Amino acid sequence: MGGGQDINYPAQPSYGEGMADALKAQVELLTGTGDFASTGSLESLLPLEESIRRKTAQADTDILRQTLLSDDDTIVADDQGRIPEGYRTRTGDVSAKTQKVTSENQFEVYVDGHQDLLDQWNAEQQGDGAKRSKSMFGREHYEAFGKDEVANPAIPREFPEIGSVFTESGTGTGATINPEPVLSEPGTYKPNEVIGRGQGMIDLLGDKRDITEYETRTATQADVAAGLADEVGDQFVAQTDSERQAGFDESGNFLGLSAFGEDIQRANLSRQREADLQDVSRLSPLFTDIMEDYKPGTQEALGEARTILAEQADALTGDGAITIPSDSTYGGDLGRQSLEAATAYTQSAEVIGPTSTGE
């Protein structure tokens, strides 16, 4: 017992052999040869990569827009301020409200428009006792035909897309064929007003209040008559009639995140300045009352300051403290000569130069 175990390790390629195999595999991938003959060259795969990257980028953009706006449920009032409140069928009955296509009811919605196919299939298979529900039948057709619609947009789409809106069946024959919308009364909403844009991030974190905007105008006679300006031609600032929300135009179209941020910032600054002015107006009486208590002391202090300044005027301005130099100031050892004489004497001494002692 106790004999050692011999382990036979496979031969390991050298560094050069490993690099050669790696380079060979890369070349075969680029050219679509060797182990990659059935796959194709890397260049032949570029269209597939481009398509995937385009679809991925578009999906990211769509998801971001849906996250920000959630505008699948957008309802816009017409030019008379009306919106659909229901749908009237051929028999005059009003059907239930519209709803979204979900992954659960997608196939049932499809069969609602192709009930004849389901009936025909069940009739043909009745001898075998087979029967399909709407959901099961719709899923089988989707697996057979619907996927091609996604892969090839040129194929006419029959299966409803997830997120689209459909109308529930109403009462009466042919209730879902060309349903007629039942509109609210005119003036229920503002013309072209966006109703129920959804609850995206813009709605939750943004500002749903109407934007207050101003413009600089040149006064007309009507402006003067309205008291907006003193004379015709004067420049004045007036508020414009705006019913839009931050980041959106008058029709409810989103203008982009940059415009949204600009509107938010401008509105916040305007409201802050207005609040500051309101605080000043509100607190002015309190400020006046407080200053009344300190007003006598302040006047007395100012009077004393004037007295001190008057007494120390000479010292502060230097009046009388500085003696104006006279001629004798510059005379010195020259026998009190004038400044001009001292200057002449100095110049003549420089010309003559030094003399010997006793000369």
Over 90: is that where the pLDDT of 146 sits? no
Same domain? For 38 and 125 the reply is no
Number of domains in the chain: 2
Residue 79 class from Cβ within 10 Å (0-12 exposed, 13-18 middle, 19+ buried)?
exposed
Same domain? For 61 and 168 the reply is no
pLDDT level of residue 277 (50, 70, 90 thresholds) = very high
Same domain? For 87 and 191 the reply is yes
- Identify the residue with better confidence: 329 or 240: 240
Among candidate residues 179, 160, 150, the one with its CA nearest the CA of residue 114: 160
pLDDT of residue 172: 38
Over 80: is that where the pLDDT of 156 sits? no
Q: How far is CA 278 from CA 272, 273, 343, in A?
A: 10, 9, 75
pLDDT of residue 338: 55
Same domain? For 117 and 155 the reply is yes
CB 74 within 8 A of CB 197: yes
The reply to whether 356 falls in a domain is: no
pLDDT level of residue 94 (50, 70, 90 thresholds) = very low
Same domain? For 107 and 23 the reply is no
Same domain? For 182 and 165 the reply is yes
Look at the alpha carbons of 299, 300, 305, 310 in this order and tell me if their dihedral is positive or negative. positive
How many residues are recorded in the chain?
A: 359
Same domain? For 92 and 185 the reply is yes
The reply to whether 81 falls in a domain is: yes
Residue 140 class from Cβ within 10 Å (0-12 exposed, 13-18 middle, 19+ buried)?
middle
pLDDT level of residue 347 (50, 70, 90 thresholds) = low
The reply to whether 328 falls in a domain is: no
Mean pLDDT to the nearest integer, 95-101: 61
Same domain? For 191 and 82 the reply is yes
Same domain? For 40 and 148 the reply is no
Using H for helix, E for strand and C for coil, what is the string for 46-106? HHHHHHHHHHHHHHHHHHHHHHHHCHHHCEECCCCCCCEEEEECCCCCEECCEEECCCCCH
Q: Which domain holds residue 21?
A: 16-69
Using one digit for the tens of pLDDT, what is the confidence trace for 37-79? Answer: 888 888 888 888 898 999 999 989 888 888 888 766 667 788 8
Mean pLDDT to the nearest integer, 137-147: 77
The reply to whether 156 falls in a domain is: yes
The reply to whether 249 falls in a domain is: no
Residue 287 class from Cβ within 10 Å (0-12 exposed, 13-18 middle, 19+ buried)?
exposed
Same domain? For 111 and 160 the reply is yes
The reply to whether 139 falls in a domain is: yes
Same domain? For 22 and 78 the reply is no
Over 70: is that where the pLDDT of 35 sits? yes
What's the mean pLDDT when you consider all of the chain?
75
Domain boundary among 161, 195, 229: 195
- CA dist., res. 213 & res. 215, Å (int): 7
Q: How far is CA 233 from CA 41, 222, 237, in A?
A: 75, 11, 13
The percent of residues in the chain predicted with pLDDT above 70, rounded, is 68
pLDDT level of residue 298 (50, 70, 90 thresholds) = low
CB 84 within 8 A of CB 183: yes
User: Which residues make beta-bridge pairs with 95?
Assistant: 87
- Identify the residue with better confidence: 11 or 313: 11
- Identify the residue with better confidence: 134 or 328: 134
CB 194 within 8 A of CB 252: yes
Helix axes 42-69, 15-31, angle to 10 degrees: 70
- Identify the residue with better confidence: 127 or 248: 248
The reply to whether 348 falls in a domain is: no
Using one digit for the tens of pLDDT, what is the confidence trace for 206-260? Answer: 888 888 888 888 889 888 888 888 889 988 888 887 778 888 887 778 899 999 9
| Token reading at 175 | 């209730």
- Identify the residue with better confidence: 46 or 132: 46
Chain-centre distance of CA 228, in angstroms? 35
